[in-house]
Amino acid sequence: MMQTTTDWVTIRAQFRALSDWTYLNSATFGQVPQCAIEAVDRHWQRRDQLACGDFLSWYDDADRLRTAVASLIHASAEDIAFIGNTSTALALMVAGLDWRPGDNVVTLAHEFPNFLYLPALLEHQGVEFRETPWERFYESIDERTRLVALSQVNYSNGFRPPLEELSKFLRQRGVLLFVDGTQSVGALQFDVRKTQPDMLAVHGYKWLISPTGAGFVYVAKALRQRLSPREVGWRSHHTWREVDNLHHGVPEFKESAEKYESGGLPFPLLYAMEASVNLMLEIGPDVIERRVLELADAARKRMLQLGADAPETGSQIVSAKFPGVDPSDLARELKARHVLVAARHGHLRVSPHFYNTEEDLDRFTEELRALL
Ligand SMILES: Cc1ncc(COP(=O)(O)O)c(C=O)c1O
Protein backbone atom coordinates (compact mmCIF):
# COMPACT_ATOMS: atom_id res chain seq x y z
CA MET A 1 0.00 0.00 0.00
CA MET A 2 1.23 3.50 -0.81
CA GLN A 3 -1.34 5.22 1.37
CA THR A 4 0.76 7.95 2.93
CA THR A 5 3.13 8.54 0.07
CA THR A 6 1.09 8.09 -3.09
CA ASP A 7 3.15 9.31 -6.01
CA TRP A 8 0.38 10.85 -8.08
CA VAL A 9 2.79 12.29 -10.64
CA THR A 10 4.14 8.85 -11.55
CA ILE A 11 0.66 7.37 -11.51
CA ARG A 12 -0.67 10.09 -13.80
CA ALA A 13 2.13 9.42 -16.28
CA GLN A 14 0.47 6.02 -16.89
CA PHE A 15 -2.35 7.81 -18.72
CA ARG A 16 -1.06 9.21 -21.99
CA ALA A 17 -4.20 11.07 -23.05
CA LEU A 18 -3.84 13.31 -20.03
CA SER A 19 -0.84 15.08 -21.49
CA ASP A 20 -3.04 16.48 -24.29
CA TRP A 21 -6.42 16.77 -22.63
CA THR A 22 -7.93 18.21 -19.50
CA TYR A 23 -9.96 15.09 -18.97
CA LEU A 24 -12.81 15.26 -16.45
CA ASN A 25 -15.10 12.71 -18.05
CA SER A 26 -14.45 9.32 -16.46
CA ALA A 27 -18.21 8.78 -16.12
CA THR A 28 -18.14 8.35 -19.91
CA PHE A 29 -14.82 6.52 -20.34
CA GLY A 30 -11.99 5.92 -17.94
CA GLN A 31 -8.53 6.36 -19.38
CA VAL A 32 -6.63 3.07 -19.65
CA PRO A 33 -3.16 3.01 -18.05
CA GLN A 34 0.01 2.16 -19.92
CA CYS A 35 0.53 -0.91 -17.72
CA ALA A 36 -2.73 -2.35 -19.09
CA ILE A 37 -1.64 -1.80 -22.67
CA GLU A 38 1.68 -3.51 -21.88
CA ALA A 39 -0.15 -6.46 -20.32
CA VAL A 40 -2.11 -6.95 -23.54
CA ASP A 41 1.10 -6.69 -25.56
CA ARG A 42 2.62 -9.45 -23.42
CA HIS A 43 -0.39 -11.62 -24.19
CA TRP A 44 0.07 -11.17 -27.96
CA GLN A 45 3.79 -11.92 -27.61
CA ARG A 46 3.04 -15.08 -25.67
CA ARG A 47 0.58 -16.18 -28.35
CA ASP A 48 3.26 -15.76 -31.00
CA GLN A 49 5.86 -17.59 -28.94
CA LEU A 50 3.69 -20.50 -27.90
CA ALA A 51 1.16 -20.59 -30.76
CA CYS A 52 -1.67 -20.65 -28.19
CA GLY A 53 -0.51 -24.08 -27.00
CA ASP A 54 -0.85 -22.78 -23.43
CA PHE A 55 -4.39 -21.49 -23.80
CA LEU A 56 -5.71 -23.31 -20.74
CA SER A 57 -3.30 -21.33 -18.59
CA TRP A 58 -4.97 -18.14 -19.83
CA TYR A 59 -8.01 -19.31 -17.87
CA ASP A 60 -5.79 -19.60 -14.79
CA ASP A 61 -4.78 -15.98 -15.41
CA ALA A 62 -8.45 -15.02 -15.67
CA ASP A 63 -9.03 -16.76 -12.33
CA ARG A 64 -6.26 -14.61 -10.85
CA LEU A 65 -8.21 -11.55 -12.03
CA ARG A 66 -11.38 -13.07 -10.60
CA THR A 67 -9.65 -13.11 -7.22
CA ALA A 68 -8.41 -9.52 -7.61
CA VAL A 69 -11.85 -8.25 -8.60
CA ALA A 70 -13.41 -10.17 -5.71
CA SER A 71 -10.99 -8.57 -3.25
CA LEU A 72 -11.96 -5.13 -4.56
CA ILE A 73 -15.58 -5.66 -3.47
CA HIS A 74 -14.82 -7.98 -0.51
CA ALA A 75 -16.34 -11.02 -2.17
CA SER A 76 -14.81 -14.39 -2.96
CA ALA A 77 -13.66 -15.47 -6.43
CA GLU A 78 -16.51 -18.00 -6.58
CA ASP A 79 -19.02 -15.14 -6.61
CA ILE A 80 -17.61 -13.55 -9.77
CA ALA A 81 -18.41 -14.15 -13.45
CA PHE A 82 -17.00 -12.13 -16.31
CA ILE A 83 -19.50 -10.29 -18.50
CA GLY A 84 -19.23 -8.13 -21.60
CA ASN A 85 -21.60 -5.45 -20.32
CA THR A 86 -24.07 -4.84 -17.53
CA SER A 87 -27.22 -5.31 -19.58
CA THR A 88 -26.16 -8.96 -19.91
CA ALA A 89 -26.20 -9.25 -16.12
CA LEU A 90 -29.55 -7.51 -15.81
CA ALA A 91 -30.98 -9.91 -18.39
CA LEU A 92 -29.53 -12.87 -16.48
CA MET A 93 -31.32 -11.68 -13.35
CA VAL A 94 -34.62 -10.83 -15.01
CA ALA A 95 -34.80 -13.93 -17.19
CA GLY A 96 -34.07 -16.22 -14.27
CA LEU A 97 -36.99 -15.18 -12.06
CA ASP A 98 -40.37 -16.93 -12.26
CA TRP A 99 -42.49 -13.84 -12.77
CA ARG A 100 -46.24 -13.94 -12.20
CA PRO A 101 -48.66 -11.42 -13.72
CA GLY A 102 -49.08 -8.56 -11.27
CA ASP A 103 -45.51 -8.73 -9.94
CA ASN A 104 -43.54 -5.52 -10.15
CA VAL A 105 -39.98 -4.30 -10.48
CA VAL A 106 -38.90 -0.95 -9.05
CA THR A 107 -36.16 1.39 -10.19
CA LEU A 108 -35.19 4.99 -9.51
CA ALA A 109 -36.31 7.93 -11.61
CA HIS A 110 -33.66 9.14 -14.08
CA GLU A 111 -31.85 5.79 -14.06
CA PHE A 112 -29.58 4.68 -16.87
CA PRO A 113 -31.59 3.43 -19.89
CA ASN A 114 -30.63 -0.21 -19.20
CA PHE A 115 -33.12 -0.07 -16.34
CA LEU A 116 -35.73 2.07 -18.08
CA TYR A 117 -35.87 -0.37 -21.00
CA LEU A 118 -36.77 -3.33 -18.75
CA PRO A 119 -40.46 -3.23 -19.73
CA ALA A 120 -39.33 -4.50 -23.15
CA LEU A 121 -38.33 -7.74 -21.41
CA LEU A 122 -41.08 -7.93 -18.81
CA GLU A 123 -44.30 -6.37 -20.03
CA HIS A 124 -45.43 -9.43 -21.98
CA GLN A 125 -45.34 -11.39 -18.72
CA GLY A 126 -47.70 -8.93 -17.07
CA VAL A 127 -44.96 -7.49 -14.86
CA GLU A 128 -45.42 -3.88 -13.84
CA PHE A 129 -42.46 -1.50 -14.06
CA ARG A 130 -42.19 1.32 -11.52
CA GLU A 131 -39.84 4.25 -12.02
CA THR A 132 -39.90 6.17 -8.77
CA PRO A 133 -38.20 9.28 -7.37
CA TRP A 134 -36.12 8.66 -4.28
CA GLU A 135 -38.56 10.62 -2.09
CA ARG A 136 -41.25 7.99 -2.75
CA PHE A 137 -39.00 4.98 -3.19
CA TYR A 138 -39.85 2.99 -0.09
CA GLU A 139 -43.58 3.48 -0.44
CA SER A 140 -43.50 2.23 -4.03
CA ILE A 141 -42.35 -1.19 -2.83
CA ASP A 142 -45.19 -3.52 -1.94
CA GLU A 143 -45.91 -7.23 -1.46
CA ARG A 144 -45.80 -7.81 -5.25
CA THR A 145 -42.33 -6.26 -5.66
CA ARG A 146 -39.87 -8.99 -6.68
CA LEU A 147 -36.88 -6.95 -7.70
CA VAL A 148 -35.34 -3.53 -7.11
CA ALA A 149 -32.74 -2.58 -9.71
CA LEU A 150 -30.67 0.60 -9.55
CA SER A 151 -27.19 2.11 -9.72
CA GLN A 152 -24.86 2.81 -6.81
CA VAL A 153 -24.32 6.22 -8.44
CA ASN A 154 -26.64 7.78 -11.02
CA TYR A 155 -25.01 8.31 -14.39
CA SER A 156 -26.37 11.77 -15.08
CA ASN A 157 -26.89 13.55 -11.76
CA GLY A 158 -24.46 11.64 -9.49
CA PHE A 159 -27.17 10.73 -6.95
CA ARG A 160 -26.00 8.06 -4.53
CA PRO A 161 -28.84 6.29 -2.72
CA PRO A 162 -28.16 4.86 0.76
CA LEU A 163 -27.73 1.28 -0.44
CA GLU A 164 -27.07 -0.40 2.88
CA GLU A 165 -30.27 0.93 4.39
CA LEU A 166 -32.25 0.10 1.25
CA SER A 167 -30.79 -3.39 1.08
CA LYS A 168 -31.80 -4.11 4.66
CA PHE A 169 -35.35 -2.92 3.97
CA LEU A 170 -35.58 -5.20 0.91
CA ARG A 171 -34.11 -8.24 2.65
CA GLN A 172 -36.73 -8.00 5.37
CA ARG A 173 -39.39 -8.20 2.63
CA GLY A 174 -37.75 -10.87 0.47
CA VAL A 175 -37.20 -8.48 -2.46
CA LEU A 176 -34.12 -9.04 -4.61
CA LEU A 177 -31.60 -6.22 -5.10
CA PHE A 178 -29.68 -5.69 -8.35
CA VAL A 179 -27.01 -2.98 -8.20
CA ASP A 180 -25.18 -1.53 -11.19
CA GLY A 181 -21.75 -0.38 -10.01
CA THR A 182 -20.54 0.80 -13.41
CA GLN A 183 -20.64 4.45 -12.30
CA SER A 184 -18.90 3.86 -8.99
CA VAL A 185 -16.86 0.69 -8.47
CA GLY A 186 -13.22 1.65 -8.91
CA ALA A 187 -13.85 5.18 -7.63
CA LEU A 188 -15.96 4.50 -4.55
CA GLN A 189 -15.54 1.52 -2.29
CA PHE A 190 -18.09 -1.28 -2.40
CA ASP A 191 -18.31 -3.94 0.28
CA VAL A 192 -20.75 -6.73 -0.60
CA ARG A 193 -20.61 -7.95 2.99
CA LYS A 194 -22.16 -4.67 4.13
CA THR A 195 -24.44 -3.81 1.22
CA GLN A 196 -25.46 -7.42 0.52
CA PRO A 197 -26.80 -7.02 -3.01
CA ASP A 198 -28.07 -10.19 -4.68
CA MET A 199 -26.28 -9.13 -7.84
CA LEU A 200 -23.73 -6.40 -8.53
CA ALA A 201 -22.77 -5.75 -12.14
CA VAL A 202 -19.82 -3.63 -13.20
CA HIS A 203 -18.73 -2.69 -16.70
CA GLY A 204 -15.08 -1.80 -16.23
CA TYR A 205 -14.61 0.81 -18.96
CA LYS A 206 -15.28 3.80 -16.75
CA TRP A 207 -14.04 3.83 -13.17
CA LEU A 208 -12.15 0.54 -13.46
CA ILE A 209 -10.03 2.13 -16.23
CA SER A 210 -10.40 -0.98 -18.42
CA PRO A 211 -11.41 -1.52 -22.05
CA THR A 212 -15.07 -1.78 -23.07
CA GLY A 213 -16.19 -5.38 -22.93
CA ALA A 214 -14.30 -6.05 -19.70
CA GLY A 215 -16.78 -6.42 -16.87
CA PHE A 216 -17.88 -8.64 -14.06
CA VAL A 217 -20.93 -9.64 -12.13
CA TYR A 218 -21.06 -10.64 -8.47
CA VAL A 219 -23.82 -13.17 -7.81
CA ALA A 220 -24.56 -13.90 -4.15
CA LYS A 221 -24.39 -17.57 -3.23
CA ALA A 222 -28.07 -17.79 -2.25
CA LEU A 223 -29.10 -16.35 -5.60
CA ARG A 224 -26.79 -18.68 -7.52
CA GLN A 225 -28.57 -21.63 -5.98
CA ARG A 226 -31.84 -20.58 -7.62
CA LEU A 227 -30.70 -18.69 -10.73
CA SER A 228 -30.02 -20.97 -13.70
CA PRO A 229 -27.69 -19.86 -16.47
CA ARG A 230 -29.56 -18.48 -19.48
CA GLU A 231 -26.86 -19.58 -21.90
CA VAL A 232 -25.06 -22.90 -22.12
CA GLY A 233 -21.82 -23.72 -23.92
CA TRP A 234 -18.69 -25.82 -23.73
CA ARG A 235 -17.64 -24.29 -20.39
CA SER A 236 -21.00 -25.02 -18.78
CA HIS A 237 -20.10 -28.52 -17.65
CA HIS A 238 -17.94 -28.51 -14.55
CA THR A 239 -15.11 -30.55 -16.17
CA TRP A 240 -14.65 -28.16 -19.12
CA ARG A 241 -10.89 -27.98 -18.53
CA GLU A 242 -10.59 -31.57 -19.75
CA VAL A 243 -10.60 -30.34 -23.32
CA ASP A 244 -9.34 -33.64 -24.75
CA ASN A 245 -12.63 -35.21 -23.68
CA LEU A 246 -15.30 -32.59 -23.34
CA HIS A 247 -18.46 -33.85 -21.73
CA HIS A 248 -21.21 -34.82 -24.17
CA GLY A 249 -24.68 -34.66 -22.69
CA VAL A 250 -26.59 -32.38 -20.34
CA PRO A 251 -24.12 -30.13 -18.45
CA GLU A 252 -23.73 -30.31 -14.71
CA PHE A 253 -23.04 -26.76 -13.62
CA LYS A 254 -20.46 -25.66 -11.11
CA GLU A 255 -21.75 -24.07 -7.96
CA SER A 256 -19.62 -20.96 -8.57
CA ALA A 257 -20.65 -17.96 -10.67
CA GLU A 258 -18.39 -19.23 -13.44
CA LYS A 259 -21.42 -21.26 -14.55
CA TYR A 260 -22.82 -18.06 -16.08
CA GLU A 261 -19.86 -17.67 -18.47
CA SER A 262 -20.68 -20.58 -20.82
CA GLY A 263 -17.96 -19.93 -23.45
CA GLY A 264 -14.54 -18.46 -24.24
CA LEU A 265 -13.33 -15.33 -22.48
CA PRO A 266 -12.08 -12.06 -24.07
CA PHE A 267 -8.50 -12.52 -22.87
CA PRO A 268 -6.88 -9.32 -24.20
CA LEU A 269 -9.54 -7.28 -22.43
CA LEU A 270 -9.13 -9.25 -19.23
CA TYR A 271 -5.33 -8.92 -19.21
CA ALA A 272 -5.80 -5.16 -19.50
CA MET A 273 -8.38 -5.20 -16.74
CA GLU A 274 -6.08 -7.20 -14.49
CA ALA A 275 -3.29 -4.62 -14.79
CA SER A 276 -5.77 -1.80 -14.15
CA VAL A 277 -7.38 -3.45 -11.15
CA ASN A 278 -3.98 -4.30 -9.68
CA LEU A 279 -2.86 -0.70 -10.09
CA MET A 280 -5.93 0.44 -8.19
CA LEU A 281 -5.51 -2.17 -5.47
CA GLU A 282 -1.91 -1.05 -5.10
CA ILE A 283 -2.87 2.61 -4.73
CA GLY A 284 -5.60 1.58 -2.30
CA PRO A 285 -9.38 1.81 -2.84
CA ASP A 286 -9.71 4.01 0.25
CA VAL A 287 -7.02 6.40 -1.02
CA ILE A 288 -8.74 6.55 -4.41
CA GLU A 289 -12.15 7.17 -2.88
CA ARG A 290 -10.86 10.02 -0.76
CA ARG A 291 -9.15 11.63 -3.72
CA VAL A 292 -12.07 11.40 -6.16
CA LEU A 293 -14.50 12.78 -3.58
CA GLU A 294 -12.13 15.66 -2.80
CA LEU A 295 -11.68 16.48 -6.47
CA ALA A 296 -15.43 16.26 -7.09
CA ASP A 297 -16.15 18.54 -4.18
CA ALA A 298 -13.56 21.04 -5.39
CA ALA A 299 -15.09 20.94 -8.89
CA ARG A 300 -18.56 21.53 -7.45
CA LYS A 301 -17.42 24.50 -5.37
CA ARG A 302 -15.73 26.06 -8.37
CA MET A 303 -18.90 25.75 -10.44
CA LEU A 304 -20.98 27.20 -7.60
CA GLN A 305 -18.65 30.21 -7.63
CA LEU A 306 -19.37 30.58 -11.34
CA GLY A 307 -23.11 30.78 -10.61
CA ALA A 308 -24.12 27.16 -11.14
CA ASP A 309 -26.79 25.21 -9.39
CA ALA A 310 -24.73 22.17 -8.37
CA PRO A 311 -26.21 20.06 -5.56
CA GLU A 312 -24.09 17.87 -3.37
CA THR A 313 -24.39 14.26 -4.53
CA GLY A 314 -22.19 12.30 -2.12
CA SER A 315 -20.51 10.79 -5.16
CA GLN A 316 -17.64 11.57 -7.49
CA ILE A 317 -20.02 12.69 -10.27
CA VAL A 318 -20.88 16.38 -10.15
CA SER A 319 -23.71 17.79 -12.21
CA ALA A 320 -24.32 21.49 -12.64
CA LYS A 321 -26.86 23.74 -14.28
CA PHE A 322 -25.93 27.21 -15.44
CA PRO A 323 -29.05 29.37 -15.80
CA GLY A 324 -29.85 30.11 -19.44
CA VAL A 325 -26.94 28.06 -20.78
CA ASP A 326 -27.28 24.86 -22.81
CA PRO A 327 -24.87 22.31 -21.31
CA SER A 328 -24.39 20.63 -24.70
CA ASP A 329 -23.08 23.93 -26.09
CA LEU A 330 -20.77 24.28 -23.09
CA ALA A 331 -19.43 20.73 -23.41
CA ARG A 332 -18.84 21.23 -27.15
CA GLU A 333 -17.04 24.54 -26.64
CA LEU A 334 -14.93 23.08 -23.85
CA LYS A 335 -14.00 20.11 -26.05
CA ALA A 336 -12.82 22.53 -28.73
CA ARG A 337 -10.46 23.85 -26.02
CA HIS A 338 -9.31 20.32 -25.14
CA VAL A 339 -11.32 20.14 -21.93
CA LEU A 340 -13.52 17.04 -21.85
CA VAL A 341 -16.63 16.92 -19.70
CA ALA A 342 -20.14 15.79 -20.69
CA ALA A 343 -23.65 17.13 -21.06
CA ARG A 344 -26.30 14.79 -19.66
CA HIS A 345 -30.01 15.51 -19.33
CA GLY A 346 -29.75 19.26 -18.91
CA HIS A 347 -26.62 19.16 -16.73
CA LEU A 348 -22.97 19.72 -17.29
CA ARG A 349 -21.41 16.58 -15.83
CA VAL A 350 -17.90 16.67 -14.40
CA SER A 351 -16.42 13.37 -13.28
CA PRO A 352 -12.83 13.35 -12.01
CA HIS A 353 -10.89 10.15 -11.35
CA PHE A 354 -7.80 9.62 -9.22
CA TYR A 355 -5.51 10.57 -12.11
CA ASN A 356 -6.90 14.11 -12.12
CA THR A 357 -5.35 17.03 -10.27
CA GLU A 358 -6.28 20.45 -8.92
CA GLU A 359 -4.49 21.85 -11.98
CA ASP A 360 -7.05 20.06 -14.20
CA LEU A 361 -9.78 21.79 -12.24
CA ASP A 362 -8.00 25.15 -12.60
CA ARG A 363 -7.81 24.75 -16.35
CA PHE A 364 -11.46 23.61 -16.57
CA THR A 365 -12.64 26.55 -14.43
CA GLU A 366 -10.61 29.03 -16.45
CA GLU A 367 -12.07 27.87 -19.76
CA LEU A 368 -15.57 27.64 -18.31
CA ARG A 369 -15.37 31.18 -16.93
CA ALA A 370 -14.29 32.44 -20.33
CA LEU A 371 -17.28 30.77 -21.97
CA LEU A 372 -19.98 31.82 -19.53
C1 LIG B 1 -24.97 3.04 -14.71
C2 LIG B 1 -24.47 2.54 -16.02
N3 LIG B 1 -24.54 1.24 -16.29
C4 LIG B 1 -24.11 0.74 -17.44
C5 LIG B 1 -23.58 1.55 -18.42
C6 LIG B 1 -23.12 0.92 -19.69
O7 LIG B 1 -24.03 -0.08 -20.07
P8 LIG B 1 -23.51 -1.50 -20.57
O9 LIG B 1 -22.62 -2.02 -19.49
O10 LIG B 1 -24.74 -2.32 -20.72
O11 LIG B 1 -22.76 -1.23 -21.83
C12 LIG B 1 -23.47 2.92 -18.19
C13 LIG B 1 -22.92 3.83 -19.21
O14 LIG B 1 -22.97 5.01 -19.12
C15 LIG B 1 -23.93 3.41 -16.96
O16 LIG B 1 -23.86 4.72 -16.69
Digit-coded pLDDT (tens) for 278-292: 999 999 999 999 999
pLDDT above 70 covers what percent of the chain?
99
Task: Give the mean pLDDT of 328-340.
Answer: 98
Q: Which mutation among 83, 93, 183 tests ligand 1's pocket best, with the greatest number of atoms within 8 A of CB?
A: 183
Q: What is the pLDDT of residue 4?
A: 66
Q: Is the pLDDT of residue 24 over 60?
A: yes
Number of residues in the chain: 372
Cα 98 to Cα 73: distance, rounded to the nearest angstrom: 29
Closest CA to 365 of 298, 313, 279: 298
The closest residue, in CA terms, to atom 11 on ligand 1 is 85
Q: Is the pLDDT of residue 356 over 50?
A: yes
Q: What is the pLDDT of residue 294?
A: 98
Confidence band of 5 (pLDDT split at 50, 70, 90): confident
- Ligand 1 first shell, C-beta below 6 A: 85-87, 112, 114, 151, 155, 180, 182-183, 203
The Å distance, Cα 13 to ligand 1 centre, comes to: 27
The closest residue, in CA terms, to atom 7 on ligand 1 is 86
- Exposed / middle / buried, residue 60 (Cβ in 10 Å: 0-12, 13-18, 19+): exposed
Question: Across the strands, what pairs with 129?
Answer: 105
The closest residue, in CA terms, to atom 2 on ligand 1 is 182
Give this prediction's pTM: 0.97
Cα 185 to Cα 316: distance, rounded to the nearest angstrom: 11
Q: Is the pLDDT of residue 1 over 80?
A: no
Q: What is the pLDDT of residue 147?
A: 98
